[in-house]
Chains A and B, each alone.
Chain A
């Protein structure tokens, strides 16, 4: 019980405090790196909600990120304050997720994965061709005077990461989370014991779309430039998957651990092997699938997992 309090309450609060005071202590470069870590953590947890919990592997989660990113890029030059823009970006992602969920969640297994990948491509092409709105392939550059400073963006991303983790925490311990995990295990059997699988998947899908929508808006504010290739980048989706699967899919701690490991590794590889770093991440994914299907958390003994409540 004592250890569980340390892991479940003291450790997250300590990490949050450290992250909160970091802008006062670290350089701009490290602050920027921290922002990217929180961005990936929020995205990984959002992927975890739909794919880790239900087993519906999405290769199109990045489409919601792109929608959020473009919402910010289009609205900020109109003079809107950045805070409501985050809300609108989230809303736009949800509005897109509603029909997409109704259409795609009828599919299972690889069909769902491929449909989501295809949808991301469709939206990317629309963003490229709709020049009047998006400026096409040239993208949209934003004047720094329209954008919040790095510290503000850092805190925004930190809050989004904390919210994403909080959602996973609450869902995992809830009846709804149990239903999602039952769907992952055996959808037909779950339905046979009273789980409204269509409703549960739909809520998880829409919820998981909201987070990248918000993250996308903050990314535009941070990056000050967006184009279809960076907004709807399939490799961003692959990174989410690697992070969740490396740590432990369907768990609270897995994506946190996976994000820290991958971002740390990426930072090292990016500096030393810039051309190969994505290929190396691909190899890592292959190794995980082959040898560690339940992520690095599964390397700990069951006793330790129960003692420290890491099964969550």
Chain B
């Protein structure tokens, strides 16, 4: 009897071990093989992205449905790899590109991630003829086209715009305490002191993944330096040892004294929840937070929560743009270009963006399809000065970003201003 029990136990253990292995594999994230491999149709476009979350996945599906309507003869393979901010997807993409097995087209942030990464590595085809043919050169803002260009050639098609410099606040908390949304750092700290006195955490942060802290820091840098000098940081023309950078770092340090204690165990969604529940009053996050507030937490814009640009950045726009390009060495160049045409069309952008919660990259999209926040942002996008985001790989190459993430992670604990500016200055030497 005892022996039987032990054998049974062993079998159980083995079964669990097997299932554990399985779950590990599937979360490891190579989904692309599970597509429609069986039908070997010549006309096939493989779209590689990390859009697997709520909203964004729906957006992608709507986009694919639209394409399928127009080109029923072309097969679409959705090769999405799960994982926040595309960290897993980027690793999978890197090994596929190096193994000369590129997807037909892939998601990449405009700016350095594209230009200093794949374009510099000589892996991308220019798309100037496509822009010419579709008449896109005046349909996207000039500075946005510059973000996806290198040496006069255009390398990708932007599909959406997210804004990275937004301060979200709990309206109930602000109304109850008679507070106004802060527009300058002075106002911000005045508001924060009042909230702190009431026992409410002024600023929610979840920096389990360090980019959230980097994002606040880049917002402050933009506010203190202005669009031009901020842009020069990433070309090596503006030193990180400059007194304005030091001042911005001091502001960042002061801001960190108003955050929740358990920031290191939270991700940005957890931090947004603090604001939603009223345990914290504000957080600084890209406008994907709006999608999280509205869709996941069922809050109403301008009723439960409000938004304003991060102090000191009114009229400035921190751009995070998802774009798709054309890798070298793929088979279905024509079909892929047809997909990119749909992606860059008004119809395509309006199919995708309302679901994803972002705004269209084109200036002539149908405003009525967007909510109030979207309408405001579309309006701002037309007039504001655009800046690339560091935290999302647009401002500087991934290598610099990795080092910046590390330096900021250390700074959040040690709060040593000189150490942060020194290590950033050292990392920036590679930028020249």
Whether both chains belong to one complex is answered with no
> Which residues from chain A sit less than 8 Å from chain B, CB to CB?
none
> Which residues from chain B sit less than 8 Å from chain A, CB to CB?
none
